Structure formats: structure tokens, C-alpha cells
Structure 1
Amino acid sequence: MRIGVDIGGTFTDLCAVDETGIVAVGKVLTTYDEPARAVEEGLAALLTDPGAVEQVVHGTTLVTNALIERKGSRTALLATAGFRDVLEMRREHRYELYDLHLELPAPLVPRHLRFDVPERILADGSVRTALDEAYVVRLGRELADRGIEAVAVCFLHSFTNPAHERRVAEILAEVAPTLRVALSSDIVPEIREFERMSTTVANVYVQDLTERYLRDLEHRLRRIGIPGAPHIMLSNGGLATVDTAARHPIRILESGPAGGALAAAAIGPADLLAFDMGGTTAKLCLIAGGAPLVTHQFEVDRKYRLLPGSGLPVQVPVTDMIEIGVGGGSIARIDALGLLTVGPDSAGSEPGPACYGRGGTEPTVTDADLVLGYLDPGYFLGGGMELDAEAARSAIVERIAGPLGVSVEEAAWGIHTSVNEDMANAARVHAVERGQDPAKLPMYTFGGAGPVHGVGVARALGAPSVVAPPAAGVLSAAGFLTAPLAFDFVRSARAAVHDLAWEQVDALFAEMEAEGAALLAKSGVDEVTHRRVAEMRYAGQGYEIRVPVRGGRWPDALIDEFTATYRALYRRTGPEVGVEVLNWRVVSSGPKPDVTLRLTTRATGADARKGTRDAYFPSAGGFVDTAVFDRYLLTPGERVAGPAIVEERESTVVVPPGAHCVVRGDAALEVTA
């Protein structure tokens, strides 16, 4: 048996899989004070024989939350003399040109802890100014005496020549051994000074917190009888050991959302739109050619959720998705213009939505879905948590319906549809920017709240169908179990394609592949595959695209690959100018697990219809008597006509009037208008 565990902003999801498929699922409230406690408690309740567990794969939002909430180590920055303020100057780009009150996230390192180190390496790797080692010795001792816990080192052009950064690490290890030290040449050895500095700082800022959490998780798993150490989900869809994740915590920044995209890719067609809506956020991801898209530019702590440039950039491989602050716990309110708005702030699990009865008073999306009749107050989490419908109605009446002068049902419907439109707009932008038409892609929806809103979002997009996979409420946790052990490596070596020194390129690839094989060998992986990628652009462009390197040394073959990739993205080719390569990448992977993501505990021979209840559908005139079905009793081939509601322990599928739902052979529910 293998277990996937996903810690989200509201719930911690668990999924157990064996050779037959999904055999057990669980969902418990996240414990913010000790996140690993919810994992321990959830597994203890889920498992009857912990010793039978061969592997635990874990994803968490810990790193993201620590960066947003500024709960990391007290960190200093060592930069090349004259460049310490790059971290705050950023790229001097105004992401909203006419906003006079522009906000940017504060640097993780304040100015009085950023230091100019006398040294200078030029772009070709030659040394212009030798490192002032005496300065580093004095500074290291002072930092340790002042209680500094971590140091990021980011010198100019260290991706070409890391000698000065490595010498600083040696000196600090001698004079201040208690300091955690991160070198940009180790964390992100590639071009672009600000992004490299920001990523290095973020990595060391959360390193102590992450390592303590991962060791606590290991201890708790051993305490309940699970043998072996867990594997940690990386943001790019690969797995790493605890030791690797502890050294590179920035690589697990988006580990949770990656799981859902992997699961959708494993069970769906080659091209689809994955939609994951949990308690705090909604994520949308394109699956193309059977795999999630991956990007190497990501921002955390955005001040404006849909505006690039308003957050802290992190230059690591992450699953390419758009994340917006609307989930089941997102709070609805009337804004200064008297308009209804939802999110991005969330009630989370503490205190949670008003209907949780844990002290929350703000109306949320879950409260609205309960008032509309989409959720059964007695069957939330399979009956493990009773919802207070009156508390939900009171919160909506007091904060939304009363001020707007509408009925509670109209206010709840406004919250529900507002969220759907927000997600559809985000999905439309995300897909079009990547050369895809969302109206031509089936949408796979999951997460606790995803199936409730999936059909509404799909209709707003014009998507042909909506699929709610088996165990949709915990699908991210299940998706972790489809990932291989993998890690990404990068080297910057800018050159025009026709001027490439192929011996140097071969040496870079060989170096990265050897590093990948050694890293995976420590995890017991002998069979390693390597995927080569070149990041290329037309000469004069500001950014590059990722192009597969399929072997061979001929410049024309590489340019042909570049042209084909460029045309697929932008439906055209560029100007008649030269083409250059900036970075070379290798993805080293172990074998992909053989996992079947289908329910094996589904009962048969009983009537799946549980009864009826009133649910609100404006297209049908308001509240209508709606059939309610038990998903676990539905059998392949069965059809359900809307309006209908299909319930399982962790999520609910809403089938509106005019739509039809069919049970597929893998137990997934497919809804078409």
C-alpha cells in the first residue's frame, strides 16, 4: 500500500492506493499550529495496518505560507559590491502603470542586513576583483554574534564561475558554523540577477522551518508504525527524498497543486483543463500531450492575484498553473462600490466558514453552497462533520443579502456564480496565453469544492464536458502517487545556435546527468532517464521558450525544433534574425510508478438514489425537488439526468437542469450539457 498526503489551507487530504486502485480516502481539518499533527491523526484513523505501507508521498503549502506570512529565519544577504539593493530595486517595472499606490511585497532581507562584498567576476568568468576574504571573516563573526540564522550569497556571474561564492561558504563554515548558507550557484545557477537573488534568499529563509517540519513528520510516521521515510512532492511534478527537499525547500513551494495536475494527466485524455478547487484557493492547469505544462518563473505573495510582477519571483521549475484566491472558505463581502466580491482572504479551518460552527461569522462560498441546497448538512465529510445551515443563512443575510436588499437565496447564488465567473475568466486567460482554446478542452474537476462548481465554470467557458474523477475530493493526494523520483538541473551558457561549441554543450549535459544519476542513486533508483531541454529565443527578445533537444549536433535541427515550438505557442514565427540559447536543462527521472487511480471499494446491487432535497437553480425557477445519489452505489454505464446531486464523502457533483451525468468504466462521472 502507498499513501498520498496533501496539506491544504483548510483540509489535509489522504489517499491509500494498492495494486487494485484507490482503497481508502480521508479528509481532516488542517492543524495550523502543527501541520504534521493532522497527518498523524488522519493516518491513524485511516489505516488498520500501518506496517503494510510501503511509501508515503507528501505535499504541503508550508513553504508558501512561510513566505507569505514572513515566518522564516532571520536572514542576511551577501552580494557583489554595489549590488545589494537589486533585491529591492527588482526590475524597476510597474506592473500597473497608472496605480499611484502601487504595492510590492517587502524584501525578505531588510536593507541593514544586505552587505556589499568586495569582489567581482565578469560575464566570461574571469576575475576582475579578487574576493576580500578578511571582510568575509569579520562579517561572518558579526552576523553570528548578532543572532543572524541564515545567509544567502549571490554574486554577479556566479553561474559562470562559482569560485567566490564557494570560498565564502568555506569561510563562513569556519568562523560561523551555526549559520545556514545558500549559494546562488547551487540553488539556481542561471542568468538574471534579480530572480536568482530572490530565489536564493527565499530558499535559505525557509530552510530551517522546512527541515524541522520534515523531521517532525518523519518522527510522527514512525510513531504510528509506518516504516521508511516519506518522499516529498516537488513543484514540477517529481519526487524527492526528505534530505533533498530539506536542502532545496524552494522546490516544494507548489507541491500540493502539482498532485492534482498529475492525477488528471494520468486518468484523462492527452489534452484537457484541470480544475482544482479546495478550501482556500482554486487552481487551473493545462495538460498538453499527456503531461502538465511546466514553467520556470513563478511568483509567491502577489499583491494583486492576476498581475505578474506584483509578487516575489522564484526561478525554479513548477507546474504551470494559475491560482486564484477563491475556495470553499473564501469570504464574501460588499466592497466600497457596493458590489459583491469574493476572496481572496479565506476563513480557512480556524475558525472556518460560519456553517462549521467553530466561531466563524463571515459568509463564505461553502455557506452559499449549503444555503443553495448543494451540500447536505448531515453528510459533510461523510457525516463526520455536521454543518449549521442556520448559521450560514444568518451570515449571508447580515453581511450580503441585507445590505443589498435581496433574498438570502439570491445572495447565495450571487456568491456561487461570482466565483464561477472569476475562475472561468482566469482559465480563459491562462489557456489563451498558452495557445489553447478552453472551449475545445474537457475539464477535469476535483478538490472538495471543485465538483460543486465544475459545471458552472465549464458552461462559462463553453467546455464540452466536465469529468469528476474517482476520489475527486482528495485527488491531489492520489496524484502524488503517480509521480517518479525526479529533479531538474540547469546551466547558463549563452550563445548563438550557429556559434555553439558542441563539446561544451555535451560537457554541460554530461555534468548535469551525472549529478542527477548520483542524486537518484542515493534514493535507491538505478534506472534513470534524462530529458534534455534548451531555452532559446530570437536574438533581441527578452525571454525564451523551452525546446526539446532530441539528439544530434546539427544547428538546423535545433532551430527547426525551436521554430515548431514557437509556432505552436504563438501561431506564427518570428522575424528573420538569429536564434540563440540561454540555458541548458536536464530533467533526471526514475521509473514512473504503475498506479491505477480507480475506486475499488464501490458497492453494487443497491439503489444509488438516496432521496431528494430542494436545490436552487434559477434556470428552473428557483428551488426544485432534486434527486440525490450515492456515488459509491452508482455502477458503470448508469446515467443521471439533471437536476441532480451526486454525493461522496469528500465532495459533491452538482448536475444542473439540462445536463446529463454518466458513470464511466473507471468510476469517473462525466457531465455534459
Structure 2
Amino acid sequence: MNPERPWQIGVDIGGTFTDFVLLDSRDGRLFNGKVLTTPQAPERAVLVGIAQLLAQHDVAPEAVRHVIHGTTLVANALIERRGVPTGFLTTEGFRDVPEIGTELRHDTYDLFMRRPDPLVPRRLRLGVPERLRADGSVLTPLDEDAARAAIAALRDGGAQALAICLLHAFRNPVHEHRLAALARQVAPDLALCLSSDLVPEIGEYERGTTTICNAYVLPVFERYLARLGEGLRGAGLTGPLFLMLSDGGTVREDVAARHPIRLVQSGPAGGVQAARLIGQSAGAADILCFDMGGTTAKAALIEAGQPERSLDFEVSRVDRFRKGSGFPLKVPVIEMIEIGAGGGSIARVDRLGLIRVGPDSASSDPGPACYGLGGTLPTVTDADLLLGYLAPDRFLGGDMALDVAAAERAIAQHVGAPLGLSAIEAAWAVHETVNQSMAQAASVHALEKARRIEGYAMVPIGGAGPVHACAIARKLGLAKLVSPPGAGVASAFGFLAAPIAFAHLRAMVAPLATLDLDALRAMLAAMQVEGAAMVAEAGVPPAQVETRLLAAMRYAGQGYQVEAAIDAAAVQAGDRVALRAAFEAEYRRLYGRVEATLPVEVVGWRVIVAGPTPKLELATAPTGIGPAGKGHRRAWFGEGFVEAAVFDRAALRPGDAIDGPALVEERESTLVLPPGSTALCDAALNLVVTFT
């Protein structure tokens, strides 16, 4: 730690709010902040929020060691189609793969099933004469004249970025690299993205969509980083800017700028990292992380202190909760599932007379009706306000006054009137609809992972997470809930707890029995050297660098693979038995059995090079004064209003106990304790909730 720069800042841009955490590394003091997101220029909210936080706590900009940042910018650009016009070059005859996809249907019986419209229209998808065999050897040389003509056509057609994905390029990148060189000659202004650099893995459709998505957002993300970096330096923050990746690691901004698709889940990944630490502080190793922000709610399982990870993710689904209805991405991510709506999600009554919530959100502009910023449609936040869970004069610590009358009008007009309900009854119906759908989705997710979560502890984070957490935990049959201080900005805090890390992936498809071990060792060594150089550039001393090795394997004939941790010593010793045993141990954990007589095939390898995980000793800085009790407020709990005790979260101390019904308020969120629940403040200032 540099004693002259003891402060660290975590920043998370969400759909409604941008969250901030300021940490003093000397004594663990933690300060939080939250401002409305500025969607048209997200860096504005970042710069304003940082300036406010530093001024409030009298911290000089030059005392800040670094800023760690996570954002939904990449995911939102894909969902909202705000990328740049992108061209696609591929092997002749394969230009329509991004639109054809696979033969799988995400809804077998829906005759009108929709798929997402391709990001690249057909006129900007072109094939070039060339062909590699499956082993990477050249079957047909690249026709360079035809390639130049195709690149010129894409340039003249308005493309600002170019995704290059040739058949079998993961085996041999020679033709992709030559196409890139030609593109720099013919159209030097095009942003380039090569599948062999980004995702050298088997599966041309998934490799193609990942490359296209990366190219589509690349110029947008580069411009954003440039504006943010300029703004930070102009404000006197000269330390490095790091960004959170979807797999829970952090990288320098120059690395992130080359691989923006790796940040598609960066904000939620920070939340899972925070939930892991919070659970540990409360003695819980098996955790259900429940992250409910302004736009969506997500769930992730953490087992034995480690979150589940995956190499597959989907974005821009046309059917929000149905796998296969979006663009598949081959990027390492912390595995989580979107299970519901966020605080800003819009509620409505459908043609069948059923309440639907989301997927569209009021976001921060115009925001929920109660924000008083022009929104007129009812949202989950409007419902929670009418039910008494939120204080209209203390939202965001009193910085934002909520308009109860506007919320009541929106709920009554759009939900109550169509159903013949009062505004309060309609608000409760919205609240219960959201809770029930999220509990059901979380339960199904756990069953799909072969987990029984009754023994898990829920850790709710996000601004709306603590409001809904107890009701959902009860529906899931959970015995314990751990509500941390600062839950509303937990993702930003999680960024500070993440190590500098980057994962390199390479395909090497071969039967385990005939795997070329010498070639494998050389490939892994090169991947490790490349990764070590990247973390060294981020300031990690070589002695502190750690390496993890994982292999994706499957039984011969299967169409999917399982990733297993591999002991590097087994690779060096050429121990094929140990490699198979590692695969089958993971296979058995997932599916409860193995196929002892079937041969095993290796599909690809992942090398994770990381620095040490930051050791954060936290001492949450009190923000309130006086006794914890703040009086009472009427809150609705199913059958009517009751007088619920209101407590100041910042004034609670270890050993304090609260019986529901109660409302525990802090600046960023409110914990709603229903009747029959008890919360005990532990040594880490978590509120550990149990139910009778």
C-alpha cells in the first residue's frame, strides 16, 4: 500500500443509479455514495459522484490510489442496439451463420417463435474465398484480391467496425491475421476484431456472435473510456483506472478496451464478489446472492465460498427468461441468472387480466413516477413506496424526495382500475407478483444446478434487494438471511475485493488418449507468459502471481463440455489418468454419475493468471447519530397496515436485536422485516435475519 495514496474508489454504473464506494486502506473506513445514472453520457454521473464523495469526506484527488469500475454499458449497448454499424467477414459460403444459428429452438411448440434480429444485416455480411481444414492446414489459400474488394464494399456500405471470423481459425489464425492486415490498408478507420484473438474456441456460430458483439460495441466503449479517463485526469485522479470483468477479475483500462465483451456482466460480477465476502464475515459458506437493482434482479449460487463460473452467456434475449433466445457469447462469466424485475421495472395488466412487471424499465430518465422527473407509469418502487416500505422524505438520505401522490396515481390508473382494486391493493399485488416470480425462478435455477438451497444463506444486495429479500427467502424456505451494511452499493464494494486477473482461452480438440502433450505444454506455457505480462503491467509483482488451469472436456459424442480444474503437475507428468479423474469428478458433481467405458475428449483450455485477492479489513463508517430507533411508520404486510418500528441502520451496533415488523433504513436501501422475523446485528454489522 502506498501511504501517500491510501484511498480506493469503486464505481458501478447501473440502469437507474450509479453507485460509489470510497475505502480508506489504512483503517478500513468505508463511505458510500449514489447518484442518478446519466444514460446519454454515463461518465458524467461517474465524475459528479466521485467529486461529491471526495468533497464530502475531505479527500484530495491525488490521495486516491486507483479507481475500479464496472458498468452495464456493454450489455445495454447490445440490448438497446446502440453499437456502431458493423461488417462481418467469413469463409465463403458461411455469411449467414450468424442469422441461421443452430438447429435448436428455444420454444419447440411456438409456431411464432422469435429470435433476435442479427446485429449485422445481410448486406454487411460477406464471404471471402479461403478454407482451412479442421486441423488448421490450408485447403484453399486466401484470395487477397477478393478480400480487398469485400473490405472496400463493407467500408462503402457504412461499416465502422469489422468482425472477422473464418472457419477453423481457432486452429490456425493465418488467414484472419492476413485479412486484418488488408483491412488496415483498405479501410484503416475500421475497428477490427478477430475471432482468433478474442475467442479461439470451437463452435463457429458462438465464436461468430461473440466476435460480432465485441466489434459492435468496441468503438462505443473506446470513446466512453477515453472520455472517462480524460475526466478523471482533469479532476486530479492520476492513478490507474481498472475495470471489472464478468468472471470476477479486474484489468487495466487498455486491456478492457480491447475486449469490451468481457465486461458484459461486470456489475453483477462485483455484486457476487461482495456477497462472497459478506457471507464469509457472517460464517456462511453456501450463499444465494440476490441482487435487485433498478432494472433487473439476478441470483447466483456461491458454494463453499466460491461462485459458480461458466464459459457461456446470452445477451439480448427476446424471451427474457428463456435460454437460447439471445446471442450466445463465449466469454468467462460468474454464472448467474436473471430472475426478475428491478425497482424501476414497469408494471402493467396484460390482455388476460394478469399483472406483468418488466422487462422494460423507467430507468433514471424519466424514472419511476414517484421520482417526480416526468415518469407516469407505475413501477416496483412506486408500489414499495405506497406500501410504506420507503420513506418519502428520507430516500437517498433525504437527497431525493419521493412523490407519494404521483406513485398512487400511476398505480391506480394502470393497475388498480383495470383490476377493480384500490391503489394499495394494486401495489401489494405488484409487490407479491415480483416476489413470487423471483422465488420461483431462483428455485428452478437451484434445481437445474442440482442444489438444495434450504441450507443456504441469502445475501441481498442492490438498492431494492433488502426491501424484497425477507419475503423471497420465506417463499424459498431459507432459514437465514445476511443483510450487509451498504447493500445498495455492494457491487461497487465488490470491485475493490476482486484480484487483478485475466483468463486466456485456447481450443485444442483431441481425444484424451492421443492428446499431443508436448504441444499442450508449449501452448499453456505461452498462455501463462502472456497472462503474467498483463498482470505485471497492472503492477502485480511476479512473486505474487498465481496461475490456475482448467480444461473443458466431454465424453466422445457429446455436444457439450464440462470444465474441470486441472493440476498443472499432471500435465507436466503426462498423467492422462489424473486428467480423466479431474473431469469425471466434476461430471459426477454435476450429473451424479459418470460413463466409465466412454472415451474422453478434450475441447479447450483456460489459463487464469491472477494477482493476490485484496484483503479488506472493513470498519463501516457511521453516518447517523443518536439512538437507533426513529419512531414508527405504517407498512402493509399482506392483510393490512401495521405500525412498524423504524431504525437507523448506521446507529445499530453489534448485539442489537430487532423484531419484525420493522424497517431498517440507510441511505442506499431499506431492509423490510416482516412479522415473525428477527434481526441480530453481528460483529461485522451485518443484520442476520432468522424466521419463526
Question: Quick check: 2:395–2:401 contact (8 Å CA) kept in 1?
Answer: yes
Q: Using the TM superposition, name which of 491-500 and 211-220 deviates more.
A: 491-500
Q: Secondary structure at the match of 1:560?
A: helix
Question: Quick check: 2:622–2:651 contact (8 Å CA) kept in 1?
Answer: no
- What residue identity is the alignment partner of 2:668? E
Change (3 A) 1:173 1:544: same
Counterpart in the other structure of 2:631: 611
Distance 1:656 1:162 in 2: 59
Question: Quick check: 2:314–2:326 contact (8 Å CA) kept in 1?
Answer: yes
- What residue identity is the alignment partner of 1:588? V
Which residue, 552, 559, 562 being the options, matches 1:545? 562
Query: CA-to-partner distance for each residue in 1:270-294, whole Å, 9 max, x for gaps?
Result: 2211001011110111112312211
Counterpart in the other structure of 2:41: 34
1:663 aligns with 2:681: yes
1:237 aligns with 2:257: no
Which residue, 300, 311, 328 being the options, matches 1:313? 328
Which residue, 195, 201, 214 being the options, matches 2:212? 201
Query: CA-to-partner distance for each residue in 1:495-540, whole Å, 9 max, x for gaps?
Result: 2222222212211211110110122222222232110001111111
Q: Using the TM superposition, name which of 218-227 and 377-386 deviates more.
A: 218-227
Counterpart in the other structure of 1:277: 292
Deviation at 1:597, TM superposition (A): 4.2
Counterpart in the other structure of 1:266: 277
Query: CA-to-partner distance for each residue in 1:95-135, whole Å, 9 max, x for gaps?
Result: 10111211111111111111110000001111110000111
1:522 aligns with 2:537: yes
Distance 1:500 1:597 in 2: 48
Q: Secondary structure at the match of 1:401?
A: helix
Counterpart in the other structure of 2:409: 394
Q: After the TM superposition, which segments of 4 or more aligned residues of structure 1 sit over 6 Å from their partners? A: none
Deviation at 1:444, TM superposition (A): 0.2
Counterpart in the other structure of 1:413: 428
Question: Quick check: 1:23–1:601 contact (8 Å CA) kept in 2?
Answer: no
- What residue identity is the alignment partner of 1:484? P
1:15 aligns with 2:21: yes
Counterpart in the other structure of 1:377: 392
Distance 1:407 1:413 in 2: 10
Query: CA-to-partner distance for each residue in 1:67-90, whole Å, 9 max, x for gaps?
Result: 111111111111101111101000
Query: CA-to-partner distance for each residue in 1:17-73, whole Å, 9 max, x for gaps?
Result: 122224210110000111000011111111032221111000111111111111111
Distance 2:561 2:412 in 1: 51
Q: Secondary structure at the match of 1:273?
A: strand
- What residue identity is the alignment partner of 1:584? W
Question: Quick check: 1:144–1:178 contact (8 Å CA) kept in 2?
Answer: no
- What residue identity is the alignment partner of 2:499? P
Distance 1:461 1:325 in 2: 15
Distance 1:346 1:137 in 2: 44
Question: Quick check: 1:218–1:229 contact (8 Å CA) kept in 2?
Answer: no
Change (3 A) 1:660 1:68: same
Q: Using the TM superposition, name which of 390-399 and 253-262 deviates more.
A: 390-399
| Number of residue pairs the alignment of both structures matches | 670
Distance 1:70 1:342 in 2: 22
Question: Quick check: 2:459–2:482 contact (8 Å CA) kept in 1?
Answer: yes
Distance 1:212 1:227 in 2: 19
Distance 1:403 1:156 in 2: 55
Q: Using the TM superposition, name which of 574-583 and 11-20 deviates more.
A: 574-583
Query: CA-to-partner distance for each residue in 1:405-459, whole Å, 9 max, x for gaps?
Result: 1222221111111111111111112222222112221000011000000001111
Distance 1:598 1:156 in 2: 54
Deviation at 1:143, TM superposition (A): 3.1
Counterpart in the other structure of 2:4: none
**Can you give the 5+ residue segments of structure 1 that lack an aligned partner in the other structure?**
none
Counterpart in the other structure of 1:573: 594
Question: Quick check: 2:548–2:608 contact (8 Å CA) kept in 1?
Answer: yes
1:536 aligns with 2:553: yes
Question: Quick check: 2:128–2:150 contact (8 Å CA) kept in 1?
Answer: no
Distance 2:192 2:276 in 1: 38
Distance 1:152 1:341 in 2: 38
Deviation at 1:344, TM superposition (A): 1.1
**Can you give the 5+ residue segments of structure 2 that lack an aligned partner in the other structure?**
1-6
Which residue, 120, 133, 157 being the options, matches 1:109? 120
Task: Report the RMSD for the aligned CA atoms in angstroms.
Answer: 1.3
Which residue, 221, 230, 239 being the options, matches 1:210? 221
Distance 2:157 2:601 in 1: 46
Deviation at 1:325, TM superposition (A): 4.6
Deviation at 1:396, TM superposition (A): 1.0
Change (3 A) 1:97 1:334: same
- What residue identity is the alignment partner of 2:161? A
Which residue, 8, 13, 38 being the options, matches 1:2? 8
Counterpart in the other structure of 1:592: 613
Q: Secondary structure at the match of 2:314?
A: strand
**Identity rate of aligned residues, in percent?**
53
Distance 1:243 1:117 in 2: 31
Question: Quick check: 1:470–1:597 contact (8 Å CA) kept in 2?
Answer: no
1:637 aligns with 2:637: no
Counterpart in the other structure of 1:336: 351
Q: Using the TM superposition, name which of 593-602 and 282-291 deviates more.
A: 593-602
Counterpart in the other structure of 1:169: 180
Counterpart in the other structure of 1:44: 51
Deviation at 1:603, TM superposition (A): 5.9
Question: Quick check: 1:478–1:597 contact (8 Å CA) kept in 2?
Answer: no
- What residue identity is the alignment partner of 1:102? M
Counterpart in the other structure of 1:448: 463
- What residue identity is the alignment partner of 1:659? S
Q: Secondary structure at the match of 2:167?
A: coil
Deviation at 1:375, TM superposition (A): 0.5
Change (3 A) 1:580 1:30: same
Counterpart in the other structure of 1:68: 79
Deviation at 1:573, TM superposition (A): 2.4
Distance 2:667 2:624 in 1: 14
Distance 1:598 1:190 in 2: 44
Deviation at 1:616, TM superposition (A): 0.6
Question: Quick check: 1:324–1:344 contact (8 Å CA) kept in 2?
Answer: no
- What residue identity is the alignment partner of 1:375? L
Distance 2:643 2:170 in 1: 65
Deviation at 1:464, TM superposition (A): 1.3
Question: Quick check: 1:305–1:325 contact (8 Å CA) kept in 2?
Answer: no
Q: Using the TM superposition, name which of 325-334 and 8-17 deviates more.
A: 325-334
Distance 1:134 1:559 in 2: 47
Counterpart in the other structure of 1:628: 646
Distance 1:149 1:636 in 2: 57
- What residue identity is the alignment partner of 1:669? L
The 5-angstrom pairing of residues 144-183 of structure 1 reads 144-183=155-194
Distance 1:382 1:339 in 2: 35
Deviation at 1:140, TM superposition (A): 2.5
Counterpart in the other structure of 1:248: 259
Question: Quick check: 2:339–2:442 contact (8 Å CA) kept in 1?
Answer: no
Q: Using the TM superposition, name which of 458-467 and 589-598 deviates more.
A: 589-598
Counterpart in the other structure of 1:403: 418
Q: TM-score, normalised by structure 1?
A: 0.98
